[in-house]
Structure 1
Amino acid sequence: MQSWEKRTVLMPSKPLGLFQDDLADAMATALHAIEAREGERRGWDRPARLFTVHLASVDSRSIELRMVPTRSWNGRDINPADALINVARNLPHPPAGLRRREYADSPVAGAALMFEGWARPNNREPTKYEQRAAGLGLRVNHLAPDRVETRCVYGVDINQQQFHVFRARGEEARVYSTSEPDMDDATMRSGRIPHALNRIVHALREGRHPF
C-alpha cells in the first residue's frame, strides 16, 4: 500500500451528526466529504475508484485516501462490482462477534468503492420485471425510460459497519449507514459490493494485503 497514490481530503468543521456511534459518524462524515471532493467537484463520467480510508481519530481534521491501482483490482476492465467480488472471493468471512477497534489502532479505518450508474427514481416502486431481475442479480436500471444517473460510494469500516453515499445527478448527496437502528437492507441497498468490501476490509484490518 505504500506505493499507492495518496490524497488528503479535509473534514468539514463539524461532523454530520447523523449517527450516535462516534466512529460511524466520523466515517459517514469522511465518505460524504470524499464524494463531494473526489466525486462532485471533479465531475461526472469518471471511472470507478477503489480506495482505503485512513483517519487518525474521530476528531481528525483530515482524511487520507490511498487509491488502489485499477490494475490491482480490475485489470480486466469489467463491471466494478464483478471485479470487486473477484478480489474478495477467496478472502475469509469476518468472524461473528468481531471485537470493536478504534480507527487509530488499525492499519486502515475502512475502504470504499465510488462508481457511477443508473437508478430508478426514489418516488417509483420497482416493477415486477425489475423485482425479478434484482432477484436474479441482473442489471436493468439502465433500460428504464425514467432512469436517473447516480454516483454511489459504498464503504465499510473496520468494525463491519456499512455506509452508502448516494447522489442523483443535480441533487444533494444522501448518507445511509447500517449503524442506524431502523436501517434495513432494502433501504441500505446492501448486496454484493458491501459484502465484498466486508472481506477486503477485514483482511486489511488484520494486516493482510488482498490485492
Structure 2
Amino acid sequence: MFLKTGELKKIMKASLKKHGLIVGNVNDHYLVYSDNWGLYIEIPYASNKFKAAIMELIGDLPEAYECYLYKTTPDGEAESETVPDYPDPYEQWKAAKDFAAIAPVMLFAWPHEYIVCQKHSDLKFVVADRSLSDRVISRSELDTTVEAMPARPSFLSGVLYWKNETTIYWVHTESPGNKALEVLFPRLNGISFFEDDWIADNVGQEDEEPADGREDAAEDPLPY
C-alpha cells in the first residue's frame, strides 16, 4: 500500500468525528471513505497494520458484502448504520481520462497547506489538502513484491485519483481562494509542469507574452 497507516488513522479518526466514516467489504476490496477522500484496496494486500488501525476505531471489520457508516457518539463510541449504495472506485478511476502533474509549489492558507496540481487537459491549476495527499502518500509501506508507486494522479470532476496494482486512493480538490486565483496562478500561466525543461523554458520570460503550452502538453500519453 502506498499510504502511511499512521496518517490514514488520523484522517479516519477526524472523519469519524466530523462527517462519519464509511467502511465496506465489497468486491474483494476494503472500501474506506468519507466526504473528501477515500481508498479501495484489495483485501489480500491490506496489511495487518492497516486493518488494526480501522478496528481500533470502529471495532470488527465488515464481513463480505457489508458496508456501514460509522459515527462517533457523545460518549466516544462508534455507532453504525447500513450503507446500501456506495461508489465503484475502479469505474470512477477508469472514467477519469484527464490527469495532473503535481507542481513544485505549496499553497499556505492558514491553518491549511495545499499541494498545487496542473491539469493536463487545459493546464489549469487545482489544489488539494496536503494532509490528505502528499503527507499520506508514501513508499514507506509499499509491498515492492507486488506493487509500485502510482503514476501521476488521474482527474475527474474535482477529484484526484492515485492508483497502483493494489490500491486506489482519491482526494477531492478544494477552492484555492482569491489570492491564489488572482496572484499565484496568473504567475504560473504559460508554464507546463508536464515538460521536463519547464524551468529553462521560463527563465527570463517574465516580460514576454506567456506561451500557451497546450499543444506540447497534448502530446503526453495518458498514464493508463
* TM norm structure 1: 0.26
Say which one has the larger Rg: 2
Structure possessing the higher relative contact order (Cα contacts under 8 Å, 6 or more residues apart) = 1
* TM norm structure 2: 0.25
Structure in which a larger fraction of residues adopt strand: 2
